[in-house]
Each structure stands twice: as structure tokens, then as C-alpha cells.
Amino acid sequence: MWWRHLLMLIFSVTALPALAIDEVGFPEYATCQSAIEAELANGAELQSKPVPSEPELRELYGAQQFKRLHNGTPATVIYLCNGTRATGGTVAMQLIYLYFQSEAAAREEFSRQRLLLDQQLGKPCWDPVDAKLEKVSPRTIWTVRDGIQTDVSWSKVVNKQPLHWIVLIGTHGLNSMRHASEPIRTAYASSSCQKSGGG
């Protein structure tokens, strides 16, 4: 059993640099434990959550939520995790929420985060401005590796008072855009986002 713990420790240490502060996403085969350790090492505050009453559910990671700065802006960072604590789990998704009191502030932060993601990830595979789809709520998408994308978008939070806006940066499986209207679906289908390694 000691060798399993040693392998987990080695993997956690090697995964830490890819989870550095202000970098978006997670390395392939990242463990939830390595993500938690990296966030804490970078000064993030793990948010407490209710403890499930069922013993088997207590062994699952579920969602891990942190408060920290992201590129200097207060953020809520959430990792959606699969697997049990005994195995270290695996990261399925990372979500970074930035909150604003006005649309103008959200739009400005969206543009700033988009430029920072360009520097980190390179050319996006989907860019509404380049595709002349300015009427859609902005969302820019990068394919970071096979089956995994990072996107950034802004939107108004509905049914919340006082009104506020969010910028959301997500790293997750491929988007399908199946719920989008035309001509967005057609333009997205012809983009490189759905192709292996597109970007």
C-alpha cells in the first residue's frame, strides 16, 4: 500500500506547476488532491460545505470551491471532481467566476481575461468577433488538448438582486453549441473547435 501513496505524492508534486496561480485549466490526468494542494499553496481559501450524512458520499470529492484572486481580481474557483479521496480523484472541470456590478466592468474584464488567455493558450478556435457574430453574448473558446476546451464569456445574472454580471472562465469537455441558434451553430460546426487538436 505504501507504493500507492508514494505514486500519488510524486504525481501531486509533478502536477503542481501546471496549476500555478493565474494559469487556467488543469493538466491531463490531474488529481483533485493535486488541484487542492496547488490552490492552497498559492494562498487560496478552501470554502467549507455541508458534510453529507451518507458515509459513502463523504468519501467522494464532489465540488471543491476556493476564494482567491485571479489575475488580481477576486474570484470563486470551483473544481468538479470525480472519484474518491482514497484514490486522489480526477478533475473533470475547472470554473473561475469573476463578479461585477456593471455590464461595462464585466465587458472590460472579459477583454482583459481574453487577452491573458491568448497569451497562455494561443489562437482561439472560436471567436465571435472574428466570426462577425457580435450580437451573441461573447464567448471565446480554445481547444487546449484532445477533448478539453477552455472558454471565457460574460453574462448578466438573471433573477438576482442587486443586478450583477459575471465573467466565467471554464475548462471542460468539448462544447457542442447544440442549443445555439443559427447562424451560430453553422459557424461553430465549421470552426476547428470540434476537430481533434483544433486551436
pLDDT, tens digit (0-9, with 9 covering 90-100), for 24-80: 999 888 899 999 999 999 899 999 877 777 777 788 888 999 999 999 999 999 999
Q: How many domains does the chain have?
A: 2
Q: Is 33 found in the same domain as 74?
A: yes
- Rg of the chain over CA atoms, in angstroms? 18
CB-based contact 137:153 (threshold 8 Å): yes
Domain, as residue range, for 123: 101-189
Q: Is 185 found in the same domain as 124?
A: yes
Check residue 49 and give its pLDDT: 79
- Residue 17: inside a domain: yes
Q: What is the DSSP letter of 190?
A: T
- Residue 91: inside a domain: yes
Q: Is 107 found in the same domain as 93?
A: no
Task: Among 97, 113, 140, give the residue marking a domain's end.
Answer: 97
- Residue 158: inside a domain: yes
Confidence of residue 134 (pLDDT cuts 50, 70, 90): low
Task: Among 36, 62, 97, give the residue marking a domain's end.
Answer: 97
**Helix 32-41 × helix 2-15 angle, to 10°:** 50
C-alpha span between 95 and 74 (Å, rounded)? 14
Q: Is 130 found in the same domain as 76?
A: no
Q: What is the pTM of this model?
A: 0.81
> Of 127, 122, 146, whose CA–CA distance to 197 is shortest?
146
Task: Among 79, 97, 115, give the residue marking a domain's end.
Answer: 97
